[in-house]
Amino acid sequence: MKHRITSAILFIFATMHVSGQVLYDLNSCIETGLENNYSITVARNREVITENNYTRGNAGLLPTIDFSSRFNGTVNTTEQRLTSGDVNISRGIHNASASGNVTLGWSVFRGFSAQTTYKKLGELRDIGVLSTQLSIENLVARIVAEYYYLIQQKRLYNNLRFALDLSRERLRIDEASYLLGRASKLQLLQSKVYFNADSSRLARQSEVLRASEIRLNELMSVDDLSQRVAVADTMLIIDPDLVLDKLLADALNQNTSLQIASRNQTVSQYDYKIISSRSYPYVTLSSGYSGTLNMYESGSTSSQLTNGANYGLTVGINMFDGYNKQRDRKNALLEVENRELQYLQVEQELRSDLLTIYSAYANNLRLLMLEEQNLETAKENLDIAFERYMLGNLSGLDLREVQKSLLDAEERLLSVQYQTKTAEISLLQISGRIMEYLR
């Protein structure tokens, strides 16, 4: 019992907010990551681009109006030789002209391609939204997994600290026994070896813990990646009530990758319609207003102004384009088929991943109960063994073996807990429920 209390105290000190550490709970980690992470910012910018592209003008449904103006002039020298022998020379004659035009053009009909393009742009906008959502879900899953991995490593670190305290206490006992002549030097040296080995293992675990902190800082995109992280939670909380049928139904309705694949199907169908519209006649309307002013320095006219309106209606149809329409239509049909196959592939992979991960999740839940029982047995065994060792009724090798059994039991339990948690995270991500972690 004394050792258990010591372990709990060490764990509490390890997770407290101390100088140089920033305390995070899971919500704050997720919110910080969603606010700062660069990949999310890029995804949101791309979403805005697709939103900006979703306009009637970009689809070709609106007319275009252009204005142009031009000014030009000439400076000429003219030499005329008359039959009478006289010569007329005009030097530096400056003639100038200015013109302005306003034109309006409008494709009234192009086989419904503009209307279909507008619908396609709407689908691309929705895909942009879903792509941002997918990036957010992936980031949330990574942050949650890293958050609980950090908890696991902190718990393992404190387990190793407890093991080191046991080795230190054993070394103290063996040193006292050696000085009193009740223990051999071999036993004392063996205790020092065990103590040094536990110290080395604790140092290596400290590196693992630090690496996890840095990865979590990176996912949150904090300014100081070297900041120390203290997590508010101390346990890996596992939901044992996930149901396969419910997860599968949610996945088929909510999985973001599946929704994107469905939208891509629709886009490919619109592309086919746009290509097919090239076989229809086209109607274009044009009109404009123009004015031209000419100015002369010689001749009987000093200036001339011409202005007026113009209009036109064009009706046409492409009769032959080297079989390009037929080729493009066949390729578009193949793309429609490819998108349908890709949707089926995504759905198949979704079902396969869900079944595989759920099997691991269910198996790990069963293992959890077994490993918890093993850990309780190992703790009780260590308490008995340490008391026997202090009384001299147990050898150092036997005590070390009991101590190692406890560490192994703790590591197996932590490993199973984390594997169960990562399976839970994956199941919620596949079923479109990963945002449930943000409460």
| Cβ atoms 293, 305 nearer than 8 A | yes
390 versus 343: the higher-pLDDT residue is 343
Of 118-122, 311-315, 385-389, least confident by mean pLDDT is 385-389
Write out pLDDT tens, residues 181-206. 777 888 888 889 888 998 999 999 99
Q: Distance between CA 159 and CA 151 in Å, rounded?
A: 12
CATH number of the domain to which 270 belongs: 1.20.1600.10
For the cut 50, the answer to whether the pLDDT of residue 16 exceeds it is no
347 versus 383: the higher-pLDDT residue is 347
For the cut 70, the answer to whether the pLDDT of residue 318 exceeds it is yes
Mean pLDDT, to the nearest integer, of 392-410?
82
Q: Distance between CA 231 and CA 234 in Å, rounded?
A: 7
Residue 20: per-residue pLDDT: 65
Supply the mean pLDDT for the chain.
88
Question: What is the number of structural domains in the chain?
Answer: 1
Residue 407: per-residue pLDDT: 86
For the cut 60, the answer to whether the pLDDT of residue 11 exceeds it is no
Residue 10: per-residue pLDDT: 38
Collect all residues with Cβ–Cβ distance below 8 Å to 282 and sequence separation of at least 6. Answer: 107, 109, 110, 111, 314, 315, 316, 317
265 versus 404: the higher-pLDDT residue is 265
Write out pLDDT tens, residues 134-162. 999 999 999 999 999 999 999 999 989 98
AA letter at 129: V
Residue 390: per-residue pLDDT: 79
Q: Note down the domain range covering 202.
A: 2-437
For the cut 80, the answer to whether the pLDDT of residue 2 exceeds it is no
For the cut 60, the answer to whether the pLDDT of residue 247 exceeds it is yes
Mean pLDDT, to the nearest integer, of 380-393?
83
Write out pLDDT tens, residues 57-91. 999 999 999 999 999 988 877 777 777 777 777 77
Q: Length of the chain, please?
A: 439
Handedness of CA 325, 331, 336, 339 (dihedral sign): negative
Write out pLDDT tens, residues 28-62. 999 999 999 999 999 999 999 999 999 999 999 99
Residue 183: per-residue pLDDT: 73
Residue 294: per-residue pLDDT: 83
Question: Cβ atoms within 10 A of the Cβ of 128, count?
Answer: 23
Q: Distance between CA 74 and CA 295 in Å, rounded?
A: 10
Q: Distance between CA 177 and CA 385 in Å, rounded?
A: 18
Please give the share of the chain, as a percent, with pLDDT higher than 90: 58
Write out pLDDT tens, residues 343-365. 999 999 999 999 999 999 999 99
